Amino acid sequence: LRGYVPLYYCRVMYLFIIFRVMYPFIICRVMVSNLNAEKYEDNVDIIVSPPFVYISQVKETLTAPIQISAQNSWVGKGGAFTGEISVEQLKDIGCEWVILGHSERRHVIGETDEFTRKKAAYALGQNLKVIACIGEKLEERESGNTFDVCFRQLKSFADEVPSWKDIVIAYEPVWAIGTGKVATPEQAQEVHGAIREWVSKNVSPQVASEIRIIYGGMKYFLLLLFSIMNQAVFPVFLSPVSIISS
């Protein structure tokens, strides 16, 4: 993959890896060992996102130039919110990024667009970078509402965030997460193009030209390769399964 990156576009490649909550630390340790063994070019940004309880252990064992992301953060300054994790705590342990708006937070936990945008605004205000997740459910795609859903979620972020320079947009169709299904390259390309056009019209052409858009829920290596070869689509959320199969 490193050989392809410089040939097709000059933007920095972005590889984002989530360590899922069901994996024990021994699996995280194997993945960290594999990541440490790699050699990375300057135009590749790599971010890993372990479960909160493993963040410090992962950070201490990483030797490669890899950044750390949390999988969630609280909506405001810390206080009496038992079980939640504040932005300030994440920064204390060395996190540079946080995932917000993930489909499981939206559709399982019940976090609304409004709640998610407030979390993003607070994180960015505290200099914690944000992976802003958007994406439609299967019934929304089948009813032809993919763009409506994605644009609504984008607008929610746009209404609150102070700047887009520390945001990466992650398009993750909910129907392609843990289901064995995967969006085709054409489907991913279509939505990524629409996202960039929306940003151009509703934020600014400059932001649209600079912001990185990645695909989440990926299972197959060929879609990753397509992403690298196509300027409009950017890699990629990867699960441990994806890394091993690759």
What six digits make up the tokens of 197? 């056009």
The mean pLDDT value for 191-219 works out to 90
What's this model's pTM, rounded to 2 decimal places?
0.83
pLDDT digits (tens, 9 = 90+) for 184-195: 888 988 999 999
Query: By CB neighbour count within 10 A (0-12 exposed, 13-18 middle, 19+ buried), where does 137 fall?
Result: middle
Nearest to 3 by CA among 245, 168, 229, 172: 229
Distance of alpha carbon 74 from alpha carbon 115, whole angstroms: 10
Q: Which residues are the active-site residues?
A: 102, 172
pLDDT digits (tens, 9 = 90+) for 223-246: 444 444 454 444 444 433 333 222
- 47 pLDDT above the threshold of 80: yes
Q: What φ, ψ does residue 148 adopt, rounded to 5°?
A: -60, -45
What six digits make up the tokens of 15? 């590889």
Q: Given pLDDT bands bounded at 50, 70 and 90, which one contains residue 196?
A: very high
What is residue 207's predicted lDDT score, i.e. its pLDDT? 95
Lowest-pLDDT range of 84-93, 159-168, 173-182, 195-204: 173-182
What six digits make up the tokens of 164? 């887009």
